[in-house]
Amino acid sequence: MEDSKDINNYMNSLGAAARSAAADLAMVSTEIKNNALLYMSEEIDTRRDEILQCNKVDLEKAKQKAIGDALIDRLELTEARIDGMISGLKIVADLPDPVGEIENLKPTPSGLEISKMRVPLGVVGIIYESRPNVTADAAALCLKSGNACILRGGSEAILSNSVIAECLNQGLKRAGLSENIIQIVNTTDRKAVTALLRMEEFVDVIIPRGGKGLVKLISEEARIPVIKHLDGICHVYIDKEADLEQAINITLNAKTYRYGICGAMETLLIHQEVSTKVLPELSSKLIEAGVELRGCEKTCKIINAKLANSEDWVTEYLAPILSIKLVKDLDSAINHINTFGSAHTDSIVTSNEDNAKYFMKKVDSSSVMHNVPTCWADGFEYGLGAEVGISTDKIHARGPVGLEGLTSQKYLVKGNAQIRGA
């Protein structure tokens, strides 16, 4: 399918099928949606060997292309990760259904009864890279929130994604639902992404999860609303009034809990007045954990680190690398974060409540933290049940996006033939 006209036709056929399936799905009961989720989990359990085999083929091809350790790690499925998909489907089945929830507004002077009803968005297009378990996680959240979805995974995961999608479709079928509720794009041609980004008629929102190449494509091509889930250039700032033992523990955890997650700290900021107290111990623990340090000039005078260049402050390493900068005060730290960060998750370590409040108000990120490592940024940990990703956008949904983020509200207005202007 090299021809762009063929790809456009193919994508339009997916879109039209999704639009039609979404209209029916909006009226489906919670019970039937939950049944489908449980059937899906059974299908994945039954076909786990086949899933692992397909993943192995994907992995071998990816290794030949030398796509990097972080991506290989994300691509790999293990028995534990398959268990994770299965329990994820069950967790979503257990979550309350947001669709149809009614919020009554205050009585109006005219006597109209006004309320808001939570409704699905319609058709959600999800564009993601590498991690095949996103296929099940994202589809489950879309289904529970009443949305049809079109999933476009990374080309390196195409076999894994296809077999997972077969399991999901079988689950839908067993529950008596249309298989068009969950469709995956079965071509690795990038023109399919361009087509998806322009299908205003069929797709209500695009959720991209990926790196800078994807960002650029999307910002240039998208004709439909996008909820971006992009870089996590996360910071920890160690304040002058920090408890230094806490500061060291928080920093270590923020960097080393998992290098490949978007909540991993990439830049450490330290108030210059405490730098000599905290840096020597902290740097030796980081180096011991295998982390490469890149520091500003002042940092390099205190510890043994490579000199950071301007690219380091805007890089999401997703790797055991940390950039470190000394700052002269709280405002400089905030300014650095708002300038070089990605509005994802940033944390202050301090015993001064006023400094913490000021930081949390002024840092313009989706999650702002106090005395907590940034790696806690996660929908499940926030009590949302699950997440389709972490939004770095400001409109619609910021931070971890769960079921509510996949819905909207419409106004219901009831009256007794009140006449306006009477």
User: What is the footprint of a second copy within residues 234-263 (CB under 8 A)?
Assistant: 243, 246, 249-250, 253, 257-258
Give the per-residue contact string, 207-236, with a second copy (x = CB under 8 A; - = no): ------------xx--x-xxx---------
205 binds a second copy (CB under 8 A): yes
Residues 79-138 contacting a second copy, CB under 8 A:
100, 105-106, 108, 110, 112, 114, 117, 119, 121-122
* Binding span for a second copy by CB under 8 A among 46-54, 129-137, 197-205, 230-238: 197-205
* Structure-derived torsion over alpha carbons of residues 178, 182, 183, 184, reported in degrees to the nearest 10: -160
State in angstroms the smallest separation of the CB of 212 from a second copy.
Answer: 14
Residue 418: phi and psi, rounded to 5, are -60, 135
Contact 96, 148 (CB under 8 A): no
For a second copy, which is the closer residue by CB, 211 or 225? Answer: 225
**Residue 364 interacting with a second copy (CB under 8 A):** yes
Q: Which stretch binds a second copy (CB under 8 A): 7-15, 41-49, 171-179, 392-400?
A: 392-400
Q: Does 339 bind a second copy (CB under 8 A)?
A: no
Residues numbered 8-47 forming contacts with a second copy, rule: CB under 8 A: 23, 26-27
Residue 194, both tokens: 């361009």
Q: Binding-site residue total for a second copy (CB under 8 A)?
A: 74
Is 376 a binding residue for a second copy by CB under 8 A? The answer is: yes
Separation of CA 16 from chain center: 26
373, 385, 389, 402: which one binds a second copy (CB under 8 A): 373
320 binds a second copy (CB under 8 A): no
Query: Distance between CA atoms of 332 and 31, rounded to whole angstroms?
Result: 53
The one among 75, 93, 181, 372 contacting a second copy by CB under 8 A: 372
Nearest to 379 by CA among 404, 405, 406, 400: 400
Q: Smallest gap, in angstroms, from Cβ of residue 344 to a second copy?
A: 11
If the CB atoms of residues 162 and 253 are measured against a second copy, the closer one turns out to be: 253
Q: Which of 59, 175, 230, 368 binds a second copy (CB under 8 A)?
A: 368
360 binds a second copy (CB under 8 A): yes
Q: Smallest distance from the beta carbon of 381 to a second copy, in angstroms?
A: 6
Cα–Cα–Cα angle for 119, 123, 127, nearest 5°? 125
Looking at the chain, the number of H-run helices and the number of E-run strands are: 14, 16
What is the nearest approach in angstroms of a second copy to the Cβ of residue 47? 30
User: In this structure, how many other beta carbons lie within 10 angstroms of the beta carbon of residue 145?
Assistant: 28
Please, what is the minimum distance in Å from the beta carbon of residue 359 to a second copy?
10
Question: CA separation (Å) from 140 to 104, 158, 263?
Answer: 29, 19, 23
For position 366 contacting a second copy by CB under 8 A, the verdict is yes
* Amino acid code (one letter) for 343: A
**Residue 187 within binding range of a second copy, rule CB under 8 A:** no
Q: What phi and psi values does residue 308 have, to the nearest 5 degrees?
A: -75, 145
H or E element at residue 126: strand 123-128
Report the C-alpha dihedral over residues 164, 170, 171, 172, rounded to 10 degrees: 110
> Judged by CB under 8 A, which stretch of 29-37, 48-56, 130-138, 365-373 contacts a second copy?
365-373
Asked if residues 11 and 152 have their Cβ atoms less than 8 Å apart, the reply is: no
Q: Does 288 bind a second copy (CB under 8 A)?
A: no
Cα separations in angstroms, 280 against 37, 193, 284: 51, 48, 6
Q: What is the DSSP letter of 45?
A: H
Decide whether 240 or 362 has the Cβ nearer to a second copy: 362
Residue 295 lies near a second copy (rule: CB under 8 A) = no
Evaluate whether 208 touches 153 at the Cβ level (below 8 Å).
no
How far apart (Å, rounded) are the C-alpha atoms in residues 9 and 195? 9
Regarding 5 and contact with a second copy (CB under 8 A), the answer is no
Q: How far is the CB of 241 from a second copy (least distance, A)?
A: 15
Residue 417 CB, nearest distance to a second copy (Å)?
A: 4
Q: CA triplet 78, 79, 81: central angle to 5 degrees? A: 60
